[in-house]
């Protein structure tokens, strides 16, 4: 038997106890935490690898290729814009562009400030603007940034003389507008955006920019270290924009524009506009603004065009402003057909209702009983009903219809506003152009809140004849008159008729019926007859049109502006009155003799359309 060693036994016992204390098992939460951390780490690595190889694989492959190749942009052409009969309204022609190659700049370690100071004067850009553009170049988005388009031969030679490898001259296209100022407001123009992309800046060019824009392609040229060409590869093919066929009748548009220019010249005035509409579809046949501008100056880099653009921004009478859709005007007597339909439908008046016009009406003045408030007619008209009141443009009959007088209770301001809204006033028509205004519909609450004054019967009288604070846009007004011509069917006005893609796909616009009040036929018929009497009766305000070889329905208006110091003249009419095919609106700002200044223009435009589009189609410029 071995000897018993007490000291050894004590030591072993202590070690055993210490081990028992140290050998505490780990908790399950610790294992879970470690597992989650491992999974997150592995997942992160996997996602990063997936992002680099799959999501951004094309980019890094392209960037890698760019480090050993020379990328060249293959410019896509913007879609051509045509008139309704095929007239070219916007097209493209070959040109050159100056491009900044961000990859080359990175490889050459270029001083961007130096490049900007050298190239800025050549490209007619300020050094600060050019340096900002160069600094925004981002090879993760595009290796090539267009600095200037449509550069001339002198600019090309000057750029090449700089011998900066990052500045390249490449083939390009530039926009051309063959028809010039007569079409500028409706067609618009293009301009450069970030990275040199071309985008529409106004008119149809802006509204349909995504459809008209193409997508540039890229071709890679492989070169050796000595610059020898080894081969090439098409990286992405250019995709051209869609061609657009519009509703614009080029012949009518040009004639309408020339006729308004002539009228303004004869009157010594500066601002006028015109619209022609197909009442059966809502298609805009013409949209004219004077003064206008040559939209070609926005695509031309010449010094003359640069100066012209600068002058245009500060030009008098705002030639860039499309008054046809954005101008807001008091409608004058052209609002009276709405009053008539509302009054007849609500039973305020009947076709037999007569009101006597001695040239004015008087209302008691509680503030000065000795001087009653007087509201005038254009002239004493005697007894008038709704038809003769429209023909004569009697204010007193429509004072009674809108605000009440004598035995006529009147619609009142609230129902007047409801009828305005019913016919689309106070809201956009939805025409396919940017910048449309909504106008303004006054009411008692608005006046009290803004002017801190109560609404009076005189305010109702004023808006009943299209004066006061009531504001409408020309496109709203012609749409409403078109709905009367179409027996109560109101269509949304539009300009794009068809889009045709480079692959043959087509998008065709169809008429959009936004309101059908043909159930108000008795009221519509009365108003139609009254508008025909405007032309066919000797006392009608547009009797000048009675000798046209086709029947016309019309309404004239004179709206007061600048505290009654100036007047705008308006004419709206449609023809042939028995089966309408065209509605015309003419407006001249600050006219000399009220509506007399615009009736001859309306007459000539309607006659042109009848002779060239109805009687013998296709005899004038298409």
pLDDT tens column, 289-315? 999 999 999 987 677 888 899 999 899
On the question of pLDDT at 140 being above 50, the answer is yes
Q: Provide the pLDDT confidence category of residue 363 given band limits of 50, 70 and 90.
A: confident
3-state secondary structure of 547: coil
The 10 Å Cβ neighbour count of residue 156 is 15
Higher pLDDT, 35 or 577: 577
Residue 545 CB partners (closer than 8 Å, separation 6+): 535, 552, 554, 573, 599, 602, 603, 606
- Over residues 380-407, the pLDDT tens digits come to 999 999 999 999 999 999 999 999 999 9
d(CA 613, CA 44): 70
Higher pLDDT, 367 or 446: 446
What average pLDDT does the structure give for the chain? 88
Q: Please name each of the domains of the chain with its CATH number.
A: 77-246 (3.90.1310.10), 254-615 (3.40.710.10)
Q: How far apart are the first and last CA of the chain?
A: 130
**Percent of the residues in the chain that have a pLDDT greater than 90, as a whole number:** 64
On the question of pLDDT at 276 being above 80, the answer is yes
- Over residues 461-472, the pLDDT tens digits come to 999 999 999 999
Element at 103 (helix H, strand E): helix 102-108
Length of the chain: 622
The CA-CA-CA angle for residues 123, 125, 129, to 5°, reads 135
Element at 566 (helix H, strand E): strand 566-575
Q: Given this model, what pLDDT does residue 229 score?
A: 67
Q: What tokens were used for 523?
A: 């009221």
What are residue 150's DSSP bridge partners? none
């Amino acid at each position: 038997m071995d000897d018993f060693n007490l000291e050894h036994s004590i030591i072993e016992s202590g070690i055993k106890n210490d081990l028992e204390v140290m050998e505490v098992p780990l908790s399950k939460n610790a294992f879970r935490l470690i597992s989650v951390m491992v999974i997150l780490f592995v997942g992160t690595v996997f996602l990063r690898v997936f992002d680099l190889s799959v999501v951004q694989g094309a980019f890094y492959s392209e960037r890698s290729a760019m480090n050993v190749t020379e990328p060249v942009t293959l410019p896509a052409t913007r879609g051509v814009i045509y008139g309704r009969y095929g007239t070219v309204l916007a097209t493209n022609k070959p040109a050159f562009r100056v491009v900044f190659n961000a990859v080359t700049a990175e490889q050459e370690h270029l001083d961007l400030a130096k490049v900007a100071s050298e190239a800025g004067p050549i490209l007619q850009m300020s050094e600060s603007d050019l340096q900002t553009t160069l600094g925004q170049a981002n090879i993760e988005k595009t290796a090539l940034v267009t600095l200037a388009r449509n550069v001339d031969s002198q600019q090309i030679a000057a750029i090449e003389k700089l011998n900066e490898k990052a500045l390249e001259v490449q083939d390009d296209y530039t926009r051309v507008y063959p028809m010039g100022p007569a079409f500028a407001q409706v067609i618009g123009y293009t301009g450069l955006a970030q990275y040199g992309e071309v985008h529409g800046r106004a008119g149809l060019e802006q509204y349909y920019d995504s459809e008209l824009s193409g997508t540039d392609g890229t071709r890679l040229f492989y070169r050796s270290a000595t610059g020898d060409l080894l081969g090439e590869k098409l990286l992405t093919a250019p995709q051209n924009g869609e061609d657009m066929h519009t509703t614009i009748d080029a012949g009518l548009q040009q004639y309408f524009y020339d006729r308004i220019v002539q009228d303004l010249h004869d009157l010594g005035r500066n601002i006028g506009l015109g619209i022609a509409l197909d009442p059966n579809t809502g298609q805009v046949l013409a949209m004219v603004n004077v003064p206008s501008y040559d939209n070609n100056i926005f695509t031309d880099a010449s010094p003359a065009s640069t100066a012209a653009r600068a002058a245009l921004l500060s030009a008098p009478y705002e030639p860039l402003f499309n008054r046809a859709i954005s101008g807001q005007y008091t409608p004058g007597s052209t609002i009276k057909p709405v009053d008539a339909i509302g009054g007849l439908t609500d039973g305020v008046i009947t076709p037999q209702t007569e009101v006597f016009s001695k040239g004015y009406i008087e209302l008691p003045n509680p503030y000065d009983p000795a001087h009653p408030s007087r509201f005038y007619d254009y002239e004493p008209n005697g007894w008038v009903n709704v038809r003769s009141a429209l023909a004569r443009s009697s204010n007193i009959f429509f004072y009674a219809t809108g605000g009440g007088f004598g035995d006529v209770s009147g619609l009142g301001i609230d129902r007047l506003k409801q009828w305005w809204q019913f016919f689309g006033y106070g809201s956009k028509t939805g025409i396919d152009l940017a910048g449309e205004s909504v106008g303004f519909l006054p009411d008692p609450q608005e006046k009290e809140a803004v002017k801190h004054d109560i609404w009076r019967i005189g305010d109702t009288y004023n808006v009943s004849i299209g004066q006061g604070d009531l504001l409408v846009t020309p496109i709203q007004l012609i749409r409403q008159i078109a709905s009367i011509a179409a027996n109560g069917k109101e269509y949304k006005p539009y300009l794009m008729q068809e889009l045709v893609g480079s692959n043959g796909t087509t998008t065709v616009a169809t008429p959009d019926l936004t309101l059908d009040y043909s159930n108000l036929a008795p009221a519509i018929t009365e108003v139609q007859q009254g508008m025909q009497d405007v032309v066919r009766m000797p006392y009608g305000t547009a009797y000048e049109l009675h000798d046209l070889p086709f029947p016309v329905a019309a309404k004239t208006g004179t709206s007061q502006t600048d505290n009654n110091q100036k007047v705008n003249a308006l004419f709206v009419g449609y023809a042939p009155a028995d089966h309408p095919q065209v509605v015309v609106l003419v407006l001249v700002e600050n006219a000399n003799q009220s509506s007399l200044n615009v009736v001859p223009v309306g007459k000539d435009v309607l006659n042109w359309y009848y002779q060239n589009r109805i009687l013998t189609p296709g005899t004038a410029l298409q």
